[in-house]
Amino acid sequence: MTDQPSPASTEGKPSALVRFDAFAAMLGDRRPAVFLDYDGTLTPIVERPDLAILDDSVRAVIRRLAGLCPVAVVSGRDLDDVARHVGIDDLIYAGSHGFDIRGPDLRTQIGEEYLGDLDEAEAALLGRLHGVEGALVERKRFAIAIHTRRVARDRKASVGDAVQGVAAAFPKLRVTGGKEIHELRPNVPWDKGKAVLSLLDTLGLAGPETLPLYLGDDETDEDAFRALAARGEGQGVGIRVMDPPAPSAAAWSLKDPAEAGAFLDRLAVWLAEG
């Protein structure tokens, strides 16, 4: 949701792992601030969100990295949910796509005046989708996710129609989508990109001595890639976790969560060596 169109392209997305030396050279003597999506980035996409368990080795890497540079997890999940899954105290967590932010000495909530509409829309969705096998309505504080991964292929479209139908009755909410998910959230110009820029300001990391990195795998992460790209050449770096390559505003890529873990490990080792 940035003002500028992104240079979305499948071309020229070098692997931040395979070409780590070039990546490190680009970082130079700047300290990174690392922003991480959770599902599909740190853990493989699974059938049920509660089964997306963070590997202990990746948790250890993130903990090590957080001792070397600022680290924040920015997820579509509910704040408490993502914090529990990551399980590291003292990290910065941004839940509900950045609407709900918490960290040491930090608390920001966007869109509290939309909670009543979200409550009503949740009830409407539960009514509309009652009886659609596999459709999972998940209420987060600042969003309602409708998961379709376990819905029969020929019924997925009708779930989308139901979501659109409910959304039409709540003009203060808007629909966004992703992998096997529809989502209703407050219709305010706020997204993962705005959340990342706001965090950089709040944490005093907006200066040239810091290079923000964002790792993500999905459509909502493109908001963050665009926001970082819009800071200017070399002032923010997007890394999209994807296989096969897809159009993205990120400049770098990684194939899968395993590569993301390996990349974070390389980065931690490199930072520790100074």
Which residues contribute to the site for Mg ion (CB under 5 A)? 37, 39-40, 217-218
What are the backbone angles phi and psi of residue 13, rounded to the nearest 5°?
-110, 80
Smallest gap from residue 250 Cβ to Mg ion (A): 13
Give yes or no for a contact between 200 and 103, defined as CB atoms under 8 angstroms apart.
Answer: no
Polymer length of the chain: 274
Least distance in Å: CB of 234 to Mg ion?
A: 25
Q: Please identify, using beta-carbon distances, which residue of 35 and 170 lies nearer to Mg ion.
A: 35
Of the pair 129, 260, the CB lying nearest Mg ion is at: 260
CB-nearer residue toward Mg ion: 37 or 183: 37
User: Which CB, 8 or 152, lies closer to Mg ion?
Assistant: 8
DSSP string, the chain: --SSPP--BSSS--BTTTTHHHHHHHHTTPEEEEEE--BTTTB---SSGGG-PPPHHHHHHHHHHHTTS-EEEE-SS-HHHHHHHH--TT-EEEEGGGTEEEETTEEEE--GGGHHHHHHHHHHHHHHHTT-TT-EEEEETTEEEEE-TTS-GGGHHHHHHHHHHHHHT-TTEEEEEETTEEEEEE-SS--HHHHHHHHHHHTT--STTEEEEEEE-SHHHHHHHHHHHTT-TTS-EEEEE-SS---BS-SEEESSHHHHHHHHHHHHHHHHH-
For 92, the token pair is 């910065």
Nearer to Mg ion, 39 or 223 (CB): 39
State the residue number with the nearest CB to Mg ion: 40
Residue 41 CB, shortest distance to Mg ion, in Å, is 5
Q: Is 39 a catalytic residue?
A: no
Query: Which one is catalytic: 3, 21, 37, 217?
Result: 37
For Mg ion, the closer of residues 82 and 144 by Cβ is: 82
In angstroms, give the least distance from the CB of 37 to Mg ion: 4
Tell me if 12 sits within 8 A of 18, measured CB to CB: no
Q: Give catalytic residue positions.
A: 37
